[in-house]
Amino acid sequence: MKNETSKYRRDMGTLGVLFIVVNGLIGAGIFGLPEALHAAVGTFAPWLLLIGGLLVMAIVVCFAQLTKLTDRSGGPQRYVGDAFGDYPGFVIGWAFFAARLISQGANVLVLVAYAAALWPIVGEGPAKIALIVAVLGGLTIINVVGIKRVVAVLGAMTLFKILPLLILMFVGISAAPGATNVVLPQFSAVEGIALAALYAFVGFENATIPAGETKEPQRAMPRALMIGLAVVTLMYFGLQWAYSHSVIAGTGTDAPLTSLAGEYGGDIGASLIAATIVMSVLANLTAGHTSASRMPPALTDDGLLPDWFAKVSRWGTPANSIIFFGVGAVLFSLWDDFLVLAAISTLARLLAYILSIIALPILRKRANYPAINLTIVIAAPVALALSVWLATQTNIQQWQTLGGFLLAGTLLFFIARRNSRPAVCNR
């Protein structure tokens, strides 16, 4: 494993990484899950989320170990590339970048839809396009002028989106009746909803990508990953408990937390939660833009993409890559096949999880650590089994779609390699 002095400014500390972890985890999933979970497994729903968080913790523990082995940007791409070579690393990097870019375009449509519930004028036509461009363009500019500013924005948005949820959680728990018997559901019911439940915990790996802009990443990232997942899991548990023990549970509402807030806070409470949803998706978009736009520079550092992607701005940020990501997200936001895009993102992340975990003992050995430790023996098998099982819950169309992106990435890989040869000879 080669050492590298980062050419980017290391402005982000543990708190900044924690903001990315929390916002990567809390997207729009928790706002739609409570009713579906309750309908599937009843009052066992909060415990299912707790179990899901504990299982995902196994994956996070593996990634926490991986972050201690490099201080270079790239995340899963870096881990897989260092362990297995340039091509596997590039495939993971390209798949993750493409999936996150596409999901960025899809997620901004979710933001617009919820914003339209508050301001109907932005729901269609030129106003809709203007809002999309304003959101993604604003995120692009903020990222270009420096990651410190991103951290400040993320901090404000994180507090804004979490505080209303915490208030709703405590009010709901206080208003709920005393302890009730928890009926264990049939395994088939759990199996039917498990993918959706565990999907709510996907996104923590975003924080591992900008390691090259993080102060003491081997210390900051493991701490932020563990704390972030623990906080989010407890919040999910509390929100689901409050919902499953309310009169709203089982009514079939499409906006469960908005309905719950309306039950306790009337129209004002419902509007506040609707605004929180908008802010939550915006924060998720911000965290995604910050992390995924750093993937092409990591590929460039390994000679797998043109140097253009790694050009550094006067603010010390990879400006071209950030702009490329922003423009691409705007273009993909015009594509209305959300289900396909979400599937690509899910499969790409699972592929990254699986190969990164397999790479862990190899990287430990190369770094002169014992290849086998408690993480390898206990956490890694659980993490691998969970990731593989989740991958089996998809369908052939989703695999074919991901395969198309991997094929495109393969072609770009060989083109970049061929074009780089003359430049290497002339140095």
Summarised one tens digit per residue, pLDDT across range 67-83 is 777 766 667 878 898 88
Instruction: Determine the CATH number of domain 14-420.
Output: 1.20.1740.10
In the numeric block, which tokens belong to residue 6? 């980062």
Kindly compute the dihedral angle of the four CA atoms of residues 335, 340, 341, 347, in this order, to the nearest 10 degrees: -170
Listed by start position, the domains of the chain span: 14-420
Summarised one tens digit per residue, pLDDT across range 398-418 is 788 788 878 877 887 887 777
What value does the mean pLDDT of the chain take?
78
Summarised one tens digit per residue, pLDDT across range 344-378 is 777 788 888 899 999 998 988 888 887 777 788 88
> Is the pLDDT confidence value at 1 over 50?
no
